[in-house]
Chains A and B, each alone.
Chain A
Amino acid sequence: MDVPHPTFAAGRHSPRLSRRTLLQAAGGLGLAGGLAGCSTLSAGIAGTEVAPGTVQFWNLFSGGDGARLQTMLDDYTKKHGTAALEAATFAWGNPYYTKVSLATLGGHPPDVAVSHLTRAQNLARGGLLSEITDDMLAMVGLSADDFTESVWEQGKVDGKVYALPLDIHPFVLYYNIDVCQAAGVMDGDNMKPIQGLEQWESTLTAIKEETGEFALAVPTIADNATCWRWFYTLYSQHEGATPFLSDGGKELTWNEDIALKVLEHMQKWTTSGLMPKNADYAGAQTMMFTGRSGLYMMGGWEITTAQSVKDLKFGMTAIPQIFDKKAAQCDSHVFILPTMDRSAERTQRAMEFVKEMLDQSLAWAAGGHIPTFTRALDSQEFRDLKPQNNYAEVIDYVVFTPPAWYSGSGSTFENIIGAQIGLVAQDLATPKEGLDQARSQLEVYARTADPLATGEQS
């Protein structure tokens, strides 16, 4: 750039920056930065608490859940002061669990974190979680009886407790009341009961005739988790649906015939136009919100988004029994205490925080979740909570994503199989091709020695 250009020469009128001014400025900046970062930095180097007396809390709640959690956290800070809590929210799925794992291995985990039950088991097996003993529960007046038994038992690894469940969040059906009323599939504010494939398809057809576009919207693009939730719900509704994975993921044991049959149905519904072939997470819910589709399926948490849509009248209910028996995919949000050297005082603080969150289970339930804290679940307030009481029964027949070191919510397993289910629903792969592709990828994981097994002894 030998040729001076007008733009580059613009600086010639400005006073020249001397070396001294530059150094002074840099020193000032460095000092300011040093003061601000000092406590964190020194705590980091010395390995001490960043802010003594503060509970550090990590979670994965965004959207409606995030807003609801914030009110619960505000309640906590109102009682204990803003300095008592440092909460951080991260994007969910594999990246979140990577952060929790690396922070724990690096010796600086949060005091308390949220996890999915299906992921907490793996974290515990990797030696990344502190056991929660009866004594610790007793510190804040809790015991095993305070939690729904089925979920409590699921959270155990080798008979030890590592997870305190907050909720169960099943995959549910949302309906646009105006559309469904016009389609004649409503009985008052609830949908007419649907049982069996025939009724299901005739309901969808009636709704499609009303909307002129789709009957039911479920994401097919860039949402592996939901593709899996939908597929696994249908798979589990079959008699003879064998466990999808066995022996901690070493064996792929799904019933090939049922899996293919389910995929064929899913593809038939999208290619016949009852469901959209191409919809992403936001796109699918918008279709129901705007009446382009009468139904929509997602975890209960989207209730908050739906409530924020002006003039939308909607309801929620359990996914109907389309095949042989009732089933709905679900997971559970739990509190975990990552492994670290905790003083008794610090443990007490962490447990108190969890207890106060559990005490607000009803506020959490308003966000579409089913509480697993029995005091909330059995309360009259929850029984009266609409539309949650429409689907609270699913707690008796929910199915969790099968356990394996590469499995759980938002895991590699869900990404692999969910991607293929999505491609089948998009009509870009045949059911056979999709399932074969998933199998060949999963076989590599099934064959690989469990990298967490070694952590079990520690």
Chain B
Amino acid sequence: MSTAPTNATGPSVDSRVEGRADATDLDRRRASRDVAIRPGTKHEARAGWMFLLPFAIVYVLFLIWPVIYMFISSMFNTSLVETGLGSFAGFDNYREMLTKEEFWKSLWNTLVFTAFTVPPLVILAFVLAVLANRVRRGQWFFRLAFFVPFILPSAAIALIWNFIFTPGTGLWNSLQSALGNESPSPVLGTPSLAMLGVAVTTVWWTIGFNFVLYLAGLQDIPRELYEAAAVDGASQWQQIKSITIPLLGPTTSLVILLQIIASLKIFDQVYLMTGGGPGLSTQVVLGLVTNTAFTDYRVGAASAASVLLFIVIVVVALLRQAMEWFSARRAD
């Protein structure tokens, strides 16, 4: 962390997250000058609001209001086929969710999916970025190869991997048969394997995004540092350990945060590949919310489940923030 300011001048992804605890005097002086030269007349403030207005309206209508509505309707027996909120339910919807096996199972599955996907998506993306960054010729090919799956829509991804995981004739089971496994388990049809199958699919699909963030971070590290280290006799591994990893710290913390949130919001792949099955073995919270609201017509109960997921995500994000704060303190 303490080394972060060395590359603070570059327009990089890092600059969004770094430099809180260790803002230099220069930064502080620049900030105060900005305040001093800001005109700040009433007229301009109004113009500013006008510029903001189109976005603000959309933001309030489609984000803020639905969130407020979610909190309100979670306290009512709101039905999709009725106008209005329906009868007051108090905390019944919450009680139902908190005592329902399907809810806990979905929440557990969501966390399992997060645990399955975050480490590979962070570590593998880092390794691939370091490797791709070392390629002298044809680097574009590797960048493209790792990023292309990310631009495919989830429906295409689901088709590709459903084909790979087809029981009997699919690529994966055929391979196992060829290697001598008499009756290979169908990945998406076996409760203990299905979530792993979805996780593998997700890693393949979304690793490109983290890869690009890391690659950008890597290209921000000045070459001189490596040259100086090489002159001092540092091995390749020591260079990675003592230069690359610390200087990519801000990128890593951004990637981890974004990844955890993305993984907790898992929906598409599960919906398209397994529909939550077999049984409840891949059902996730957003799947449960969708089913409750739009299949069971129970918007109120679904809102309660959404609020609970919202709380989980906020807690996880806060926990991670707290961990970072402690480690920064320790580093000082």
Give residues in A with beta carbon < 8 Å to B.
1-3, 5, 7, 94, 97-98, 101-102, 105, 126-128, 220-222, 224, 277-280, 282-283, 286, 405-406, 411-412, 415, 419-420, 422-423, 426, 428, 437, 440-441, 444-445, 448-449, 451-452, 454-455
Contact = CB atoms under 8 A, between A and B. Distances in A.
Nearest to A280: B167
Interface centre among B11, B81, B297 (most CB of A within 10 A): B81
A1 B216 contact: yes
B188 A451 contact: no
A441 B102 contact: yes
Contacts of A419: 277-280
Contact of B278 (A221, A451, A452, A455): A221
Contacts of B183: 277-278
A412 B295 contact: yes
Contacts of A7: 140
Contacts of B166: 280, 282-283
A451 B79 contact: yes
Given A451-B81, A454-B79, 17 more contacts: A2-B11, A102-B80, A128-B81, A224-B277, A279-B168, A280-B168, A283-B167, A283-B169, A415-B276, A415-B277, A419-B277, A423-B191, A437-B279, A441-B101, A451-B297, A452-B79, A454-B82
Interface of B: 10-12, 77, 79-82, 86, 96, 100-102, 139-140, 166-169, 183, 185-186, 188-191, 216, 219-220, 274-280, 291, 294-298, 301
A452 B220 CA distance: 59
Contact of A101 (B80, B168, B190): B80
A102 B191 CA distance: 32
B297 A221 contact: no
Contacts of A277: 183
A94 B101 CA distance: 21
Nearest to B173: A278
Contacts of B188: 221-222
Nearest to B168: A283
Contacts of B295: 94, 97-98, 411-412
B294 A3 contact: no
B189 A451 contact: no
A408 to B, nearest CB: 11
12 contacts: A101-B294, A221-B188, A221-B278, A222-B274, A280-B189, A422-B189, A440-B101, A444-B101, A448-B96, A448-B301, A449-B77, A451-B80
B298 A454 contact: no
Contacts of A2: 10-11, 219-220
B96 to A, nearest CB: 7
A419 B27 CA distance: 60
B303 to A, nearest CB: 13
Given A2-B219, A283-B169, A423-B279, A105 B12 contact: no
Contacts of A441: 101-102, 280
B297 A422 contact: no
Nearest to B185: A278
Contacts of A420: 279
A406 B167 contact: no
A15 B277 CA distance: 54
3 A-B pairs with the lowest CB-CB distances in the bound complex, closest first: A221-B189, A126-B81, A455-B81
B291 A94 contact: yes
Contacts of B167: 221, 278-280, 283
A278 B166 CA distance: 10
A412 B277 contact: no
Contacts of A428: 190-191, 278
A428 B140 CA distance: 47
Given A94-B291, A451-B298, A278 B216 contact: no
A391 B190 CA distance: 35
Contacts of A94: 291, 295
Interface centre among A2, A94, A105, A448 (most CB of B within 10 A): A2
A406 B140 contact: no
A314 B280 CA distance: 37
Given A221-B186, A279-B168, A280-B166, A455 B79 contact: yes
Contact of B219 (A1, A105, A279, A437): A1
